Structure 1
Amino acid sequence: MELSRAITLHLPKRFEVGQGTAARLGAWAGEVRTLVIAQPVTAGMVDRLGLAGAVQVFDGVQPEPKDTDLDAALVVARDFRPDLVVGLGGGSVMDVAKLVAALWDSDQGLTEVAGPNKVAQKCSLLAQVATTAGTGSEGGIRALVTSTETGMKVAVESPHMAADIAILDPDLTMTVPPAVTAATGVDALAHCVEAFTNINAHPLIDDYARMGIRLAGQFLRRAVTDGTDAEARAGMLLSSFYGGLCLGPVNTAAGHALAYPLGTRAGIPHGLSVALLFADVLAFNAPAVPGKTGEVLAALGLPASDDPAQIRASVAGYCADLGIEMSMQANGAKESDLRAWAEEAHGIRRLMDNNPRDMSVDEVEAIYRAAF
């Protein structure tokens, strides 16, 4: 926690936030060849970006993107040869956009760049335009896709995947349904909390995390209640962005490790997977980081407590009040899978080793069963 400890933080080169900023992308880019990575639900927003020149849209990204989605996008990119790649969507879209911008004109493939600092170059300029408030991928240098061979997430991290421009326009998020707003909002909150309570926590990142947590506490409920509340939508985009900044230098911990099997094995959307486990992981870690846990509870307007059971109950109640069905079973998980998922999550050491409290396979399984 000492300020003198070395840390590296990569940021987008340009950052636009506020209503109407999506339309500024075209003026920034000029008349260039632009490949937009999207999903069907966001592809219709392309005309709001003010793009000039030739535009190609690839909308074949799944909510939990696979390496096959990336391969298909790369085929389009290599045929189109873009000057600019735009990620127009949530974290899944923006992660694929990062990898496309880094790989379409490269001899490297996903296998060669998996892990930290293995990407050799950036092949195109990269713009990230967020349409949900959750992953904060627009602010980070990490991308995740699921391997169709192993069913595990493959993580790539490189400063070559930093956005040249990141745009947070609340107008693009106003049609996100309440259930998705709630789940992705808790994901944004969890990014901040897991970095804040991390064994690699740093004062610089702590302050980004605090801002993200406070913004979620102030605006998440409002955004769920009224999707047209521009201030709440902007506040949650900022909360998500700050969470994204936390991921590069510090990263997440057990909460995300435990969430991954729910997405890759049961098909539960990532934000919802994180939300289902958020209360249990925060309560488990509370004895190791009581002061920071207290800050989180206060920011969310929840009562102070040192009792893990009380912390779990109040935080789970907070999530349920957002409309989240706080049951893994109700969202498609099967009890017979829990032990195997626990072993898989425990093996994701790049995240589990960041946790402020050691967690055994049995303890992971107990958390799954408590959330089941």
Structure 2
Amino acid sequence: MTASITLHQPRRLIVGAGTIGEVGNLVADATATLVIATPITAGFVDRLKLPGKIEIFDAIPGEPDVATLDAALAVARRVRPQAVIGLGGGSVLDVAKLVAALWDSEQTLADVAGPNKVAGRNTRLIQVATTAGTGSEAGIRSLITDPVKGAKIAVESPHMIADAAVLDPQLTFTVPPAVTAATGVDAMAHCVEAFTNKRAHPMIDGFARMGFRLVGKYLARAVKDGSDTEAREGMMLASYYGGICLGPVNTAAGHAIAYPLGTRLGLPHGLANAIVFPHVLAFNQRVVAEKTAEVAEALGFSANSPDALLENACLFCTDLDIEMQLSRHGAKEDALAGYAAEAHANRRLMDNNPADMAVEDVLAIYRAAY
């Protein structure tokens, strides 16, 4: 029998061009609002049409760490917002979740690390995505880098679900082609890793299928023409569906192997996942052949053999102009064994993988990608 799952989604989902202008109505009674952003996405704040006092915290790096969160919490405690708005990609949205949950709480990040430890939330949370990749606007999980350990701290709680999520494709028009490509493959990886997961569930399979089929249909179009509204909206939906997959099922070896490339090598999360994706897809084929064939068909290529699958999946990425060689991104060959040991130790994700991986298998993937 299928294991039971619990599905959490934002209380309200608003999709469509220009819908960022509806955010102000969602917080019409707020006297103070804190917007979490980056220096680039802060340029969209006026489009939110917010009432009352507005404070912007835009010091969010590509891989937010504990110091980033502490700085954002300090601003929130000064402002005492009735609403927190995340306006950005996954890093921004992850920080916004934790700020909304913790700014008026006695709990610390250490207290809430892991599943279901957040005591509650009193502040409204609106998540406005400006990229199509992480799907963080849909989910209950936040990842923060611990620079001392060089690892991700994962916090998961239904108290971090958004009151409303906004998917306005116009906000992604200026995302560069390279970022569009990498984040799009990340969205696909969320769906594929959940779909082929040991914990896969028929209902989540449905969201996953919708997600990776949208990627197959729209990602190349979005990369080619950033102002293609239909393609941009399709990719935002794919990302959202991937975010839904993360809560009850989560990712697997692909993300575990990608994480050290972010924390140790400094690669953007989407790019790290794109580099790893074809290798893990091919590794798992022997265990989940039918589902792998379904993924390949949706993406427009053959999965007749592991070699053909790997080659075609790599071509899917290189055709999007993604640089797939780790050596071109500054990786050193003598560092790969350390990455492999760290990735293999991430049992939270590795234990979800349909095919068991030894540390030697992980190292072989890094070497193949090198």
TM range (shorter): over 0.9
Q: CA deviation at 1:148?
A: 2.0
For 1:122, give the aligned amino acid: R
Output the CA distance in 2 between the equivalents of 1:194 and 1:233. Answer: 22
Deviations along 1:185-209, one digit per CA (max 9) or x if unpaired, are 0000000000000000000000000
SS of the residue 1:149 aligns to = coil
8 Å Cα contact 1:208/1:246 also seen in 2: yes
Which residue number in structure 2 is paired with residue 202 of structure 1? 201
Which residue number in structure 2 is paired with residue 348 of structure 1? 346
8 Å Cα contact 2:213/2:299 also seen in 1: yes
Output the CA distance in 2 between the equivalents of 1:328 and 1:123. Answer: 44
For 2:282, give the aligned amino acid: A
In the TM superposition, 1:79-98 aligns within 5 A as 79-98=78-97
8 Å Cα contact 2:275/2:324 also seen in 1: yes
In the TM superposition, 1:257-276 aligns within 5 A as 257-276=256-275
Which residue number in structure 2 is paired with residue 315 of structure 1? 313
Output the CA distance in 1 between the equivalents of 2:173 and 2:29. Answer: 29
Which residue number in structure 1 is paired with residue 7 of structure 2? 9
Output the CA distance in 1 between the equivalents of 2:149 and 2:281. Answer: 29
Which residue number in structure 2 is paired with residue 283 of structure 1? 282
Which residue number in structure 2 is paired with residue 363 of structure 1? 361
Deviations along 1:149-172, one digit per CA (max 9) or x if unpaired, are 211100000000000000000000
Identity of aligned residues (%): 62
In the TM superposition, 1:156-235 aligns within 5 A as 156-235=155-234
For 2:165, give the aligned amino acid: A
Output the CA distance in 2 between the equivalents of 1:328 and 1:41. Answer: 28
User: Number of residues paired by the alignment?
Assistant: 369
SS of the residue 1:175 aligns to = coil
SS of the residue 1:191 aligns to = helix
Which residue number in structure 1 is paired with residue 54 of structure 2? 55
8 Å Cα contact 1:283/1:309 also seen in 2: yes
- Larger mean Cα displacement after TM superposition, 211-220 or 296-305: 296-305
8 Å Cα contact 1:224/1:322 also seen in 2: yes
Output the CA distance in 2 between the equivalents of 1:18 and 1:67. Answer: 34
Q: CA deviation at 1:13?
A: 0.3
SS of the residue 1:133 aligns to = coil
SS of the residue 1:45 aligns to = helix
Q: CA deviation at 1:304?
A: 3.5
Deviations along 1:87-141, one digit per CA (max 9) or x if unpaired, are 0000000000000000000000000000000000113110000000000000000
Q: CA deviation at 1:31?
A: 3.5
Deviations along 1:7-56, one digit per CA (max 9) or x if unpaired, are 10001000000001110000121041110000111011101111111110
Q: CA deviation at 1:6?
A: 1.2
Q: CA deviation at 1:309?
A: 1.2
SS of the residue 1:369 aligns to = helix
SS of the residue 1:52 aligns to = coil
Output the CA distance in 2 between the equivalents of 1:264 and 1:89. Answer: 20
With normalisation by structure 2, the TM-score equals 0.99
With normalisation by structure 1, the TM-score equals 0.98
Deviations along 1:338-371, one digit per CA (max 9) or x if unpaired, are 0000000000000000000000010100000000
8 Å Cα contact 1:31/1:51 also seen in 2: no
In the TM superposition, 1:63-74 aligns within 5 A as 63-74=62-73
Deviations along 1:307-334, one digit per CA (max 9) or x if unpaired, are 1111100000000000101111111211
For 2:37, give the aligned amino acid: A
8 Å Cα contact 2:302/2:308 also seen in 1: no
8 Å Cα contact 1:68/1:148 also seen in 2: no
Deviations along 1:225-275, one digit per CA (max 9) or x if unpaired, are 000000000000000000000000000000000000000001000000000
Q: Supply the RMSD in Å over aligned alpha carbons.
A: 0.7
